[in-house]
Amino acid sequence: MFREHLTAGYLLGFLLIVAVIFIAGAVFWSTALF
C-alpha cells in the first residue's frame, strides 16, 4: 500500500512539474512573440 501511494505521489509530482514547465514555456513564448 505504501509503495502504491509513493508511486502515485511521484506521478503527481511529475505531472505538476510538467504543467509548470508547460505554463512557463507558454508565458515565455507569448512574451517573446509579443
Most confident listed range (1-5, 6-10, 23-27): 23-27
pLDDT at 10: 92
How sure is the predictor about 4, in pLDDT bands with cuts at 50, 70 and 90? Answer: confident
pLDDT at 1: 57
Whole-angstrom distance, CA of residue 17 vs CA of residue 6? 16
Whole-angstrom distance, CA of residue 8 vs CA of residue 4? 6
